[in-house]
Amino acid sequence: MLVASSRADVAHYFIEDDKTADEITRVRISRNAVMEEITRLQQDLPKDAPHELAALLDVHLMLLQDEQLISGVKHWIVDRHYNAEWALTTQYEIIARQFDDMEDEYLRERKADLEQVVERILRHMKGVASPVQPAAQAGAGRKLSQQDLLLDDTTDVPLVLVAHDLSPADMLQFKQSLFAGFATDVGGKTSHTAIVARSMDIPAVVGARSASQLIKQDDWVIIDGDAGVLIVDPSPIILAEYGFKQRQGELERQRLNRLKNTPSLTIDGQRVELLANIEMPEDTLGAVTAGAVGVGLFRSEFLFMGRSGKLPDEEEQYQAYRKAIEGMHGLPVTIRTVDIGSDKPLDRHAKAQDTHLNPALGLRAIRWSLADPPMFLTQLRAILRAAAHGQVNLLVPMLAHATEIRQTMSLIDHARATLDNNGTPYGPVRLGAMIEIPAAALTLKLFLKYFDFLSIGTNDLIQYTLAIDRADEAVSHLYDPCHPAVLRLIADTIAECDAQGKGVSVCGEMAGDVGMTRLLLGLGLRSFSMHPSQILAVKQQILRADASKLQPWAAQVLASEDPAVLLQSA
């Protein structure tokens, strides 16, 4: 079941309850404008123009007044809360399919006319200023209830969303909805959109190229997130096979659930810390339920996204961080300072307008923060204040230069001084740096001079070591976590921290990948941070592992030309 339209260049977002009338007005104004345009064209037709041309314009005028088009668009806006463009293209696809099914060739060909008419309306809508803010942008994503999503006769049919692209902020909004799966045309496995999808523990396939064009509204689709495969209109045999797989998966989950309270120890008694990655304070519930012993990565930028640039003030941030801290009931929470930029734009329009050629190499993360000291100081004060309520680690993303480190330290001191001057209570924090740029991994001594702990962001470390845009599906086959250079940087970081008695964890997607657990253990890693949904499967690997035996094997893998081959055969 498909609920997104296949149009690549059309925005998809949910609108607020009280904005449906505005959205209908947007469509009406644009439709009327197109009707006027066509009427004018008709009037201006030269006398000797072919008769077919006038007839064609008549057809277009007729289609513009088609009751099924008008009432359908209203339905999607009012009942499903789709934005105008999404509603229009969704209804177009439904009618287009009816044209496809027509026996009469002349009528079948009218589909092209309908498409042109819809194109015209869409073009007009681009010019008609939107009187509404997209819900995702306003940061007030409407909570979708079962009723909202399953309004019509599809009540017990799971819905999947297939779209050209979804921003991480969109995904976050969908977190509250009931979609059973996602697929997007663009994106890599560790793009932030994929990361949020994974945190929802539902099947997702990203980088499916032209899926949104090929799959039509109301098609049946199987999304096999493990294999990265989409199956459209599956045969009964395939359906049965996937039904079986689903039940097996459910049984496996139930079995893993029994490990929830089992201490995370290797066979040879090594304790391994399993932490959670979260995007919002509410995610702590899932973290605690999965048995996480703390939050290893709170991606604070999700508090900043989808708000039309109006950033959260100190009080709002303080409340959010405090909520996360309280949600962990005394367990440590690692709050990463904002990592905006690259594939995490502040809002979707900012992405569209981003003219930088290489945003992943641009003003992102700590660079963005240091470029706006008042914004950064606001966040630092909020984190320090929240630290009065529990154990907090403050983690800084994407550092590479000594000057950046020193500026960051001085701003942290500045934030403390302001709180002191105002008599505002705050708590102690341990300071950590993310190792996600090769330059950082190659200057560990500098980092360890300033920081209490390090956290390896493998998603970016791989991207920057191999020069592979993690969000670009065209080069996703080259995005290789097992590349010897990547493994070498990870191994050296763990070893150097060990040597200096400093804490080190991995918080990239690699930490939650059960295929990598034994290698990371062998390299000496004892702290893994991942989505709560991955914790028990990784714990199972740990319980079965003998860390002392894994060490020499890991050294072999590290020395190998082709580590992936050794890993697979182990």
Catalytic residues: 192, 507
Helix axes 236-257, 535-543, angle to 10 degrees: 70
Are the CB atoms for 563 and 484 separated by under 8 Å? yes
Partner whose footprint covers residue 299, from Mg ion, ligand PEP, none (CB < 5 to 8 Å by kind): ligand PEP
Measure the N-to-C terminal CA separation of the chain; round to a whole number of Å: 40
Q: Does 507 bind ligand PEP (CB under 6 A)?
A: yes
Nearer to ligand PEP by Cβ, of 138 and 490: the residue is 490
Nearest to 441 by CA among 362, 495, 520: 495
Q: How far is the CB of 311 from Mg ion (least distance, A)?
A: 20
Question: Beta strands 221-224 and 453-456: pairing type?
Answer: unpaired
Interface with ligand PEP, residue 508, by CB under 6 A: yes
Choice between 95 and 441, CB closer to ligand PEP:
441
Element (H, E) at 230: strand 229-232
235 by Cβ neighbours in 10 Å (0-12 / 13-18 / 19+) ranks as exposed
Return the structure tokens found at 125.
């809508």
Nearer to ligand PEP, 83 or 184 (CB): 184
**Locate tokens 């966040």: which residue?**
379
| Residue written as token pair 């105008």 | 84
| Span near Mg ion by CB under 5 A; candidates 1-9, 95-103, 262-270, 434-442 | 434-442
Return the structure tokens found at 216: 């039509």
Query: Could you tell me the sign of the dihedral formed by the alpha carbons of 138, 471, 178, 329, in that order?
Result: negative
* Rg, C-alpha atoms of the chain: 26
Q: Is 457 in the site for ligand PEP (CB under 6 A)?
A: yes
Q: How many whole angstroms from its chain centre is CA 530? A: 14
User: Cα separation of 98 and 100, whole Å?
Assistant: 5
- Indicate the SS3 state at residue 205: strand
Tell whether residue 458 is a contact of ligand PEP (CB under 6 A).
yes
Residue 299 lies near ligand PEP (rule: CB under 6 A) = yes
Residue 339 sits in the site that holds ligand PEP (CB under 6 A)? yes
Partner from ligand PEP, Mg ion, none binding residue 469, C-beta < 5-8 Å depending on class = none
Please identify, using beta-carbon distances, which residue of 93 and 436 lies nearer to Mg ion: 436
- Report if residue 460 touches ligand PEP, rule: CB under 6 A: yes
Question: Closest approach of Cβ 530 to Mg ion, in Å?
Answer: 14
Q: Which is nearer to ligand PEP, 266 or 317 (CB)?
A: 317
Contact mark string toward Mg ion, 435..464, x via CB under 5 A? -x--------------------x--x----
What distances in angstroms separate CA 467 from CA 79, 221, 363, one per listed residue?
A: 45, 34, 17
The item of Mg ion, ligand PEP, none sharing an interface with residue 458, based on CB under 5 to 8 Å by kind, is ligand PEP
Residue 496 binds ligand PEP (CB under 6 A): no
Binding-site string for ligand PEP from residue 412 to residue 441, where x marks contact by CB under 6 A and - marks none: ------------------------x-----
Would you give the binding string for ligand PEP spanning residues 184-223, x where CB under 6 A is met?
Answer: -----------x----------------------------
Nearer to ligand PEP, 299 or 385 (CB): 299
Q: Tell me, what amino acid is at 136?
A: A
Residues that bind ligand PEP (CB under 6 A): 195, 297, 299, 339, 436, 457-460, 507-508
